[in-house]
Amino acid sequence: MRELEYPFDNSYILKHKKLLKRKLLEENNNYIEKKIALLGGSTTSDVKLILELFLLNYGIKAEFYESEYNKYWEDAMFDNEKLMEFKPDIIYIHTTNKNILEYPLITDKNSDVKAKLEREYERYSTMWNHLFETYNCTIIQNNFDYPTYRLLGNKDATDIRGKVNFLTRLNLKFGEYAEEHQNFFICDLNYISASYGLDAWADEFYYYMYKYALSVSAIPTLAYQIANIIKAILGKNKKALVLDLDNTLWGGVVGDDGVENLVIGPETPESQVYTDFQQYIKLHKDMGILLNVDSKNDEKNALDGLNHPDGILKPNDFIVIKANWEPKSSNLEEISKELNIGIDSFVFVDDNPAEREIIRQNFPNVGIPDLDSPYKYIKLIDHQGYFEGLNLSKEDYNKTEMYKENIERKKSMSSFKNYEDYLISLEMTSTIDEFTSNYMARIAQLTNKSNQFNLTTKRYTQAEIEDVAREQEYITLYGSLKDKFGDNGVVSVIIAHQKGEKLDIDLWIMSCRVLKRDMEYAMMDALQKEAKKRGVKEIYGYYYPTLKNGMVRDFYGLQGFEKIEEDEHRNTVWKFIVTDNYENKNKYIKVEDKNE
Amino acid sequence: MSREEIFKELDEIFREVFDDESIHVTEETKADDIEDWDSLEHINLIVAIEEHFNMKFNMNEVTTMKNVGEMVDIILERI
């Protein structure tokens, strides 16, 4: 919804929140449902209501628990039946500099200040530890916005008795905790308030009148940032950029002006703008964002432009380059197919409003920043929070290479007469094992990203993944796949739970990158083996249809299950009898079992 | 701007804030008369009105206004 996309109009949102909610609920009925507890150190009413809107806009329907005014500490630390019953998936702690109990005094000795810093920090770290133990969920914690006055003026920043200095150091300690805890995320109030403008942010009128720790007008700005963190936790980040070339990555039109006349490089203010923009885009590649080109150009001209000696981005940085005269929407669709990722995962970057409008009409969930002047490109993309960084996994750093290898595989496939020979030529090896700690982030990521090869479309946070990995009655399996072109990393996950001699499969997913490679059979073999070892006699598989997972409708049939139930929504239940004469189905992957 | 005109514009603002097209405010309308008009929604209403008329209420006024008529008195004073 345009009203909720950056740059949005804060006062419009505040004034029309009821209307917006109504419209959002009418538009969509395909939501991820999550429970969010909001523990506040000041009034949270509108924070909740506006957060709800931004989340709905991301396809997340939140049920809220809201603490009483300034009862965050009590709610977190003491027996809390209501919160226990609520079972939060995410706890957001909305505290601000108003909640500091003991600021340093000008008369304090160094040791006093140090002790105050420790006490303040421990009050929070104790609370987080307690919340993790009690609720085992994800925590989002505000760090601190700067104070409204500086007793020492500029020296407040450097004198350890200054409030600015105190809050800066406290924020660093919060940051360290976040580095050490995977399910803990900081909502960077310090940056958000600075970016908004601290004086406007801390309009004390709203504090004295309603005990809001920030100006009511700033609430949408904050709520948007919280929503960005939450959507990222739930695997709804964007994954790829699709970029126009002329007047987007450089100034001028390569086909008309010639490569030598493109505006890029250190010479002029305008050419510096494009250089910096290319640099900004290139930084995304190392973060695992897939770069692609969708440009109306002859391919030769496009490549010549990308080989400009002053350019930062080179053809090699991109996975798919579509430079032709087809409609951009069909190019985008093809890029989506070639990369095998959903079209909603793309951000379309184009200076031409007409092209953007066509994409918006066809694919409303593609990220489409409204570019205007080139010097604003970076800010306009960056403030969208498309790629909110969480726990980057090893796979992310190598992603461009992995996708390129995949395209190589496709090419090599066409040189074989039959598919079996091709599979043999890939020299595949796989590791299949129970969930281990190094892979928790990647496994959680996969459970939230997989839509097509996903039998039940059940989503897990990392905390929940760690939870099932610990439980005795759960069988958890991850599978990674290597071949001669490279390492695909973790590509398949199964979660099943045992009740006596029966085993229910809660989740079976696979990355579509490795479809038709026998990986699904290798997983079945491993599941069967583990089930048998545990004395399971019957395995039950469930298929719940969604708009996206039609490809696995008969998956369990192919694995030798028998369909035993189908309801009016076409949900199906499948049964597999564990026998002694099971024959492994996977023929082409060499599986390294860590337990052997 | 006349008193009547302000009432007309207030109708619009009230309808938007409370998402209810049937709202019509008069001199005597008070918080009890509108279902969702509680102390928290009062803030949003005040913010919307301040922005629309480009004026500010003071703290005392925000908490002591008894009805829309008093609100209009203050708006008239400031614009």
Q: How far is A15 from chain B (nearest CA, A)?
A: 5
Bridge partners of A565, per DSSP, are: A573
Q: Identify the pLDDT of residue A595.
A: 53
Partner residue opposite B16 with nearest CB, options A16, A22, A209: A16
Helix (H, G, I), strand (E, B) or coil at A414: coil
In order of their start, the domains of chain B are: 3-78 (1.10.1200.10)
Give Cα A402 distance to the centre of its chain.
Answer: 19
Closest-CA residue in chain B for A18? Answer: B19
Write out chain B residues lying below 8 Å of A17, CB-based.
44
- Tokens representing A187 are 């909502």
Closest-CA residue in chain A for B61? Answer: A209
Question: In the predicted model, what is the mean pLDDT of residues A325-332?
Answer: 93
Range in A224-233, A296-305, A477-486 the model is least confident about? A477-486
- Tokens representing A550 are 């039609």
Pick among A12, A15, A49 to test the B interface (most B CBs inside 10 A): A15
Closest CA to A63 of A83, A40, A93, A41: A83
Q: By the 8 A CB rule, do A128 and A184 touch?
A: yes
Residue type, B8: K
pLDDT one-digit tens code per residue, A417-435: 778 888 888 889 999 999 9
* Residue A557 burial class via C-beta count within 10 angstroms: exposed 0-12, middle 13-18, buried 19 and up: middle
Pick among B20, B47, B62 to test the A interface (most A CBs inside 10 A): B47
Q: How far apart are the C-alpha atoms of B52 and B63, rounded to whole Å?
A: 20
Q: By the 8 A CB rule, do A89 and A36 touch?
A: yes
Partner residue opposite B17 with nearest CB, options A15, A46, A208: A15
Question: In the predicted model, what is the mean pLDDT of residues A30-48?
Answer: 94
pLDDT one-digit tens code per residue, A102-126: 999 999 999 999 999 999 999 999 9
| A596 pLDDT more than 90 | no
Residues of chain B below pLDDT 50: none
> Is A208 within 8 Å of B43 when comparing Cβ atoms?
no
pLDDT one-digit tens code per residue, A225-276: 999 999 999 888 999 999 999 999 999 999 989 999 999 999 899 999 999 9
- Residue B73's contacts (CB-CB under 8 Å, 6 or more residues apart) are none
Helix (H, G, I), strand (E, B) or coil at A566: strand
Range in A78-82, A187-191, A411-415 the model is least confident about? A411-415
Write out chain B residues lying below 8 Å of A203, CB-based.
none
Q: Identify the pLDDT of residue A393.
A: 64
pLDDT tier at A593, thresholds 50, 70, 90: low
* Residue A344 burial class via C-beta count within 10 angstroms: exposed 0-12, middle 13-18, buried 19 and up: middle
Give Cα A43 distance to the centre of its chain.
Answer: 29
Q: Is A19 within 8 Å of chain B by CB?
A: yes
- Tokens representing A563 are 């369909």
Question: In the predicted model, what is the mean pLDDT of residues A455-470?
Answer: 91
Closest CA to A342 of A439, A456, A419, A451: A451
In the A/B pair of chains, how many CB contacts fall below 8 A? 41
Question: In the predicted model, what is the mean pLDDT of residues A51-56?
Answer: 97
| A455 pLDDT more than 70 | yes
Peptide bond between residue A7 and the one before it cis (omega within 30 degrees of 0): yes
pLDDT one-digit tens code per residue, A131-168: 999 999 999 999 999 999 999 999 999 999 999 999 99
> Is A46 within 8 Å of B47 when comparing Cβ atoms?
no
Closest-CA residue in chain A for B60? Answer: A209
Partner residue opposite B44 with nearest CB, options A14, A205, A209: A14
> Is B17 within 8 Å of A45 when comparing Cβ atoms?
no
DSSP A268-310: SHHHHHHHHHHHHHHHHHHTTPEEEEEEES-HHHHHHHHT-TT
Q: Is A211 within 8 Å of chain B by CB?
A: no
pLDDT tier at A30, thresholds 50, 70, 90: confident
Q: How far apart are the C-alpha atoms of A52 and A172, rounded to whole Å?
A: 29
Pick among A18, A50, A211 to test the B interface (most B CBs inside 10 A): A18
pLDDT tier at A288, thresholds 50, 70, 90: confident
Kindly state the helix (H) or strand (E) to which residue A185 belongs, with its residue range: strand A184-187
> Is A209 within 8 Å of B19 when comparing Cβ atoms?
no
Q: By the 8 A CB rule, do A506 and A484 touch?
A: no
In order of their start, the domains of chain A are: 2-233 (3.40.50.1110), 240-382 (3.40.50.1000), 395-593 (3.40.630.30)
The phi and psi torsions of A252 (rounded to 5 degrees) equal: 100, 175
pLDDT mean across residues, chain A: 92
- Residue A388: CB atoms within 10 Å: 18
Partner residue opposite A14 with nearest CB, options B39, B47, B62: B47
pLDDT one-digit tens code per residue, A338-382: 888 899 999 999 999 989 999 999 999 999 999 999 999 999 999
Q: How far apart are the C-alpha atoms of A482 and A484, rounded to whole Å?
A: 7
Partner residue opposite B40 with nearest CB, options A11, A19, A45: A45
- Residue B4: CB atoms within 10 Å: 9
> Is A19 within 8 Å of B47 when comparing Cβ atoms?
no
Q: Is B50 within 8 Å of chain A by CB?
A: no
Partner residue opposite A18 with nearest CB, options B18, B43, B59: B18
Q: Identify the pLDDT of residue B13.
A: 94
Q: Identify the pLDDT of residue A407.
A: 78
Within 43-82 of A, beta carbons closer than 8 Å to B belong to 43, 45-46
Q: How far apart are the C-alpha atoms of B34 and B18, rounded to whole Å?
A: 9
Q: Roughly what angle, to the nearest 10 degrees, separates helices A189-196 and A219-233? A: 140
Write out chain A residues lying below 8 Å of B51, CB-based.
11
Q: Is B62 within 8 Å of chain A by CB?
A: yes
Partner residue opposite B19 with nearest CB, options A22, A45, A205: A22
To the question of pTM greater than 0.80 for the whole model, the response is no
Between A158 and A548, the higher pLDDT residue: A158
Question: In the predicted model, what is the mean pLDDT of residues A70-86?
Answer: 93
Q: How far is A88 from chain B (nearest CA, A)?
A: 25
Q: Is A15 within 8 Å of chain B by CB?
A: yes
Q: Is A11 within 8 Å of chain B by CB?
A: yes
- Tokens representing A177 are 């905790």
List, in sequence order, the alpha helices (H) in chain B.
3-18, 39-53, 59-64, 68-78
Write out chain B residues lying below 8 Å of A69, CB-based.
none
- Residue A154's contacts (CB-CB under 8 Å, 6 or more residues apart) are none
Q: Identify the pLDDT of residue A394.
A: 65
Q: How far apart are the C-alpha atoms of A96 and A484, rounded to whole Å?
A: 53
Helix (H, G, I), strand (E, B) or coil at A234: coil
Q: Identify the pLDDT of residue A391.
A: 64
* Residue A59 burial class via C-beta count within 10 angstroms: exposed 0-12, middle 13-18, buried 19 and up: middle
* Residue A513 burial class via C-beta count within 10 angstroms: exposed 0-12, middle 13-18, buried 19 and up: buried
ipTM of the complex: 0.86
> Is B59 within 8 Å of A14 when comparing Cβ atoms?
no
* Residue A26 burial class via C-beta count within 10 angstroms: exposed 0-12, middle 13-18, buried 19 and up: exposed
| A100 pLDDT more than 70 | yes
pLDDT tier at A530, thresholds 50, 70, 90: very high
> Is A43 within 8 Å of B40 when comparing Cβ atoms?
yes
Strand residues in A383-521 grouped as ranges (E): 428-433, 474-483, 486-499, 502-510
- Tokens representing A512 are 């579509």
Bridge partners of A250, per DSSP, are: A246
Helix (H, G, I), strand (E, B) or coil at A401: helix
- Tokens representing A425 are 């030529």
Q: Is A16 within 8 Å of chain B by CB?
A: yes
